[in-house]
Structure 1
């Protein structure tokens, strides 16, 4: 069992407690494969034989991920937990204080030994970085948004950031490694994973075994436009419902991200995905996820003011594949290899060609 003691997981099953106080777990327990409710630890079995299982999909011939919150046996998958739907905060100050306390306690649990931080300059990674006196890394092509944002945020925080400046050769080298690590070839997943992989690869090369990331804050605290609008991209009709719907996408994303970082040689550390932070975020009503004047991640940003300068707490940032310019440059590599935009899903075709 990774992430938690076996007896602890047994109690969580017996008590039907989906958020028992961990940062996730997965593994074999009493003849079953068990994975936490948010899928923070990847777990796979052979598609035709659940008795053969691994944490890394590359170690299996036909890997099939265990669903988050489920147990898997030879008889099939059985749901163990679902995310709770607790009563919401009524007082804004109480909510901000609770978010602050949950984030601070989660950060305080983590050792800085052999730790580096993936730092994009946004509020999520800045809050994580504020807790540790360790190197900060940002990855991107020259003149990319993320590199500039990370430099200015680090300056405001009186820190230095190491820039992993990308080239097309870096992307070409990493594409097949990333695609194999995540067992996916679709363009979006590969675009997102590439900068994570290259950041982690540099940190590992520099001697760090663990990489802290800000993953989870956008999903937990209402960071997406589709949540703010509760638009056609979600089924829910309210901001809170849309946020909870987005939280349920985390297992798919975390499987990708954790496998990416491990393949690059580091162990992922995600303080904002601890059970206490998740439990607190689920209590936020819609107007504390997205304020009445449209500020996304409102409660998280307000609580972040005690960790980072106001300018950093309130800033927006682009998605990593766009802020780093990896998506643009991967598209360029695909077209240079003969996969033109008029072709259906030309970047995915390029990725698959690199695996052949």
Structure 2
């Protein structure tokens, strides 16, 4: 089976069904990684936004990735203070440090894109879990671990992130969670996903 063709078809279907609601109101949460870069290629007319600490390695990488793709990236600087931490903890209903640290950038992004007149944030949620994007999968390539992590994205992470962007009137769109992509991803042997070839 040609997995590349299968995934190409599935991603095109996902984009056509769930991403093209109103391109004028949509943005891509861009990290410069593979998942958001693919989305930027498949949805070329939607602006790219990235949240990063000013002067950080992440910010430099996002700028470089945008230049390689010949796309402008709207940079949103992270300035975290105690008030934002408390607001985010209250919104997500949890003081869990990991959840709070993951939610803060989306909270800041939601505020910015709402002020810029956008509503929909297209994200790469689920891509790392589906396609073996974390180093731990290369160390221990087990499908059940990837499935457990993916279920956590669907049941927990996406719900948390919907809350923090929702306070700004924004919605998340997660094309990698489309059933066709999930089905195709889990039919690819784990070893093929994590081999690096």
TM-score by length of 1: 0.51
For residue 282 of structure 1, what is the aligned residue in structure 2? 186
TM-score by length of 2: 0.90
CA offsets per residue over residues 213-259 of structure 1, 9 Å max, x none? 111100111112222222xxxxxxx5323222322222121121121
Structure 2 counterparts to residues 266-305 of structure 1, below 5 A: 266-291=170-195, 295=196
CA offsets per residue over residues 329-350 of structure 1, 9 Å max, x none? xxxxxxxxxxxxxxxxxxxxxx
Query: Per the alignment, in what secondary structure is the counterpart of residue 187 of structure 2?
Result: coil
For residue 239 of structure 1, what is the aligned residue in structure 2? 142
Structure 2 counterparts to residues 41-120 of structure 1, below 5 A: 91=1, 94-109=2-17, 110-111=19-20, 112-120=23-31
- Structure having the higher Rg: 1
For residue 63 of structure 2, what is the aligned residue in structure 1? 151
Structure 2 counterparts to residues 265-344 of structure 1, below 5 A: 265-291=169-195, 295=196
C-alpha separation in 2, matches of 1:176 and 1:96: 44
For residue 88 of structure 1, what is the aligned residue in structure 2? none
Cα–Cα, structure 1 residues 260 and 99, in superposed 2: closer, same or farther, change >3 Å? Answer: same
C-alpha separation in 1, matches of 2:145 and 2:96: 25
Query: Per the alignment, in what secondary structure is the counterpart of residue 149 of structure 1?
Result: helix
**Is residue 140 of structure 1 aligned with residue 48 of structure 2?**
no
Highest relative contact order (Cα 8 Å, sep 6+), 1 or 2?
Answer: 2
Structure 1 residue corresponding to 2:95, chosen from 185, 196, 209? 185
Query: Per the alignment, in what secondary structure is the counterpart of residue 121 of structure 1?
Result: coil
Q: Where in structure 1 do 4 or more consecutive aligned residues deviate above 4 Å?
A: none
CA offsets per residue over residues 71-116 of structure 1, 9 Å max, x none? xxxxxxxxxxxxxxxxxxxx4xx11211121112111222214111
C-alpha separation in 2, matches of 1:126 and 1:173: 32
Query: Per the alignment, in what secondary structure is the counterpart of residue 194 of structure 1?
Result: helix
Does the CA contact (< 8 Å) of 1:240 and 1:289 recur in 2? no
Cα–Cα, structure 1 residues 156 and 256, in superposed 2: closer, same or farther, change >3 Å? Answer: same
